[in-house]
A and B are shown apart, each in its own frame.
Chain A
Amino acid sequence: MLKYFISLLLLTNSLSVFSQDDILSDSIPLKTTYGIKIGIDLSQQIRMLTESEYKGLLITADYKILERVFLATEFGNENKKIVNEVLDFNTNGTFLKLGFNYNVYNNMKGLENEIYVGFRYGMGKFNHKLNSYTIYQLDQYWNQNLIDNISDYKNLNASWFEFVFGFNAQVINNVYMGLSLRVNRLLNQDKPENFSNLYIPGFNKVLENNNFGVGISYSIYYHIPIFKKNKK
C-alpha cells in the first residue's frame, strides 16, 4: 500500500517539471538527443522494505530509435514467499521483457520529457517450492489437515503481453524519473502438476479465473547521450 502513496507523491511532484519553461534563443537549431536510458525500478526496493520475504531487482533500459519511438527492455529477478490461510510457498525466477514505447507528449523547446504508451512481450523462467498446504475439509474431527510435505516445481516457463502507460520526467540533466502502470495478459504458461502458478516473477500475481494482471513500476534512469540529430 505504502508504495502507491510514495509513487503518487513523486508522480505529482514530478509532473510540475512539465511546466518549467526553458528559455532558448530561436537562433539555436533544435536538436534531439539520441541515447540509452538505463535505470532501476525502485518499486522492487520499496517492496523489499514493505513486504516481508520479498527480494527483487529490475533493471530497465530504453533506446530512442525514432523521434517518438523507444526500444524498451526490462529484466530482473524476483524471490517471493507467499503464505495464506491454506498455502505456503516460495517462488523465484528471472524474466525479460522487450517492447516499444511511443511518446505522445509534445515537449516544449529543449525539453525531453515523455508521456508514453507502449507494449512489452515478457517471458520468465521460475521455480516454486511448496512448503506446506491445507486439506480443505469442513469436518475437523481428525484435525489432520495441515500437510508438511515439501514439493518442488522446477523450470517452469511463462510468457505474457503487457500494455504500458507511463511517463518519464527529466529531473536534472540526464537523470529521469518515471512511473508506469501495466496491464498484463498471460499468453502461455507451464502448469505445474497438482499445483498452480499463483505468482510469476515479472508478471506479478496470477489470477486463477482470468489471464489478466496488473503492475506498477517507479524507476530512476540515467541517460547516456550517444548522438544528436536536428529535429525535423
Chain B
Amino acid sequence: MKKSILILILSCFNISCEPDDICLSSLPDTPKLIVGFFDQSTGLKKEVPNLKVQGFNNNNIYIFQTTDSLSIPLKNLDKITNYSFTKDFDENVDNSGNSDNVIINYQHNHMYVSRACGYVSNYNLDQIVIENDNLNWIVRTEIINSEIKEEKSIHVKIFH
C-alpha cells in the first residue's frame, strides 16, 4: 500500500514538470518593420551604400551596412519611433554622409501568447514622415502593408 501511494505521489511530480514554462524559440517574437530600398525612376531594388541606421536618442547604431532592405524594431510604449537613415556614412569622419530623419507613426496592439512567452506586439502603420532638410536622399515612401504581424514581406518601400 505504502509503495503504491509513493508511486502515485512521484507520478504527480512528473506531471507537474511540463513544457509550459519554457518559451520555445520556434515561436515568432514581436515582428519588426521591414523596409525595402528602391530606385526612384526604375522602381527596382537598389542598394543604399554604407547605410547607417540609428534610433533617435539611442546611443547605439542599429545597423551599418550596404543593403537594399532592413528590418527595424519599433517602440512598444510610444506610438512614434524615430530613426535617422544616413547614406554614405564613414565611421572615421564625424557627421559624414547624408542623414534623413524617418518618423514612423503607428498604433500598437499587445497580444497574449502564453505563460512563458508573455505578449507580442503587433503594429498598424499610420504614416511615415521624412523630415524635410532640403538635402533629402529619400525621395518618397510608400506603405505596402500597414499591418505588421509577421516579417515575411516588405511593409514599407523607400525610393531614392
Is the C-beta of A134 less than 8 angstroms from some C-beta in chain B?
yes
Say whether A141 contacts B62, CB under 8 Å.
yes
B125 to chain A, nearest CB (A): 17
Is the C-beta of A27 less than 8 angstroms from some C-beta in chain B?
no
B77 contacts which chain A residues (CB < 8 A)?
144, 147
A194 contacts which chain B residues (CB < 8 A)?
110-112
Question: Chain B contact residues (Cβ within 8 angstroms of A): what range?
Answer: 35 or more
A198 contacts which chain B residues (CB < 8 A)?
115
B11 to chain A, nearest CB (A): 9
Q: Nearest chain-A residue to B28 (Cβ)?
A: A136
Is the C-beta of B114 less than 8 angstroms from some C-beta in chain A?
yes
Is the C-beta of B70 less than 8 angstroms from some C-beta in chain A?
no
| Stretch in contact with the other chain, from B1-9, B42-50, B127-135, B140-148 | B1-9
A208-B115 in contact given A4-B9, A141-B55, A142-B55 (Cβ < 8 Å):
yes
Other-chain residue from B5, B20, B21, B23 in contact with A11 (beta carbon distance below 8 A): B5
Other-chain residue from A134, A137, A141, A209 in contact with B19 (beta carbon distance below 8 A): A209
Is the C-beta of B16 less than 8 angstroms from some C-beta in chain A?
yes
B75 contacts which chain A residues (CB < 8 A)?
142, 144
Is the C-beta of B29 less than 8 angstroms from some C-beta in chain A?
yes
Say whether B110 contacts A144, CB under 8 Å.
no
Say whether B30 contacts A136, CB under 8 Å.
yes
Say whether B118 contacts A133, CB under 8 Å.
yes
B150 to chain A, nearest CB (A): 14
Residues 200-222 of A contacting B (Cβ, < 8 Å)? 205, 207-209, 212, 214, 216
Interface mask (A144-161 → B, CB under 8 Å = 1, otherwise 0):
110100000000000000
Is the C-beta of B18 less than 8 angstroms from some C-beta in chain A?
yes
Say whether A135 contacts B30, CB under 8 Å.
yes
Q: Nearest chain-A residue to B16 (Cβ)?
A: A214
Q: Nearest chain-B residue to A12 (Cβ)?
A: B2
A112 to chain B, nearest CB (A): 18
A139-B119 in contact given A86-B23, A209-B20 (Cβ < 8 Å):
no
A165 contacts which chain B residues (CB < 8 A)?
8
B9 contacts which chain A residues (CB < 8 A)?
4, 8, 181, 216
A164 to chain B, nearest CB (A): 12
A25 contacts which chain B residues (CB < 8 A)?
none
Interface mask (A183-211 → B, CB under 8 Å = 1, otherwise 0):
00000000000111010000001011100
Residues 92-148 of A contacting B (Cβ, < 8 Å)? 115, 133-139, 141-142, 144-145, 147
Other-chain residue from B5, B73, B110, B118 in contact with A139 (beta carbon distance below 8 A): B73
Say whether B29 contacts A138, CB under 8 Å.
yes
Q: Nearest chain-B residue to A210 (Cβ)?
A: B18
Most interface-central of B18, B19, B120 (chain A CB within 10 A):
B18
Say whether B120 contacts A135, CB under 8 Å.
yes
Q: Nearest chain-B residue to A18 (Cβ)?
A: B1
Is the C-beta of B87 less than 8 angstroms from some C-beta in chain A?
no
Give bound CA distance, A12 to B5, whole Å: 10
Say whether A136 contacts B112, CB under 8 Å.
no
A101 to chain B, nearest CB (A): 16
A136-B12 in contact given A142-B81, A144-B76 (Cβ < 8 Å):
no
Other-chain residue from A12, A134, A142 in contact with B73 (beta carbon distance below 8 A): A142
Say whether B12 contacts A135, CB under 8 Å.
no
A147-B15 in contact given A135-B120, A142-B55 (Cβ < 8 Å):
no
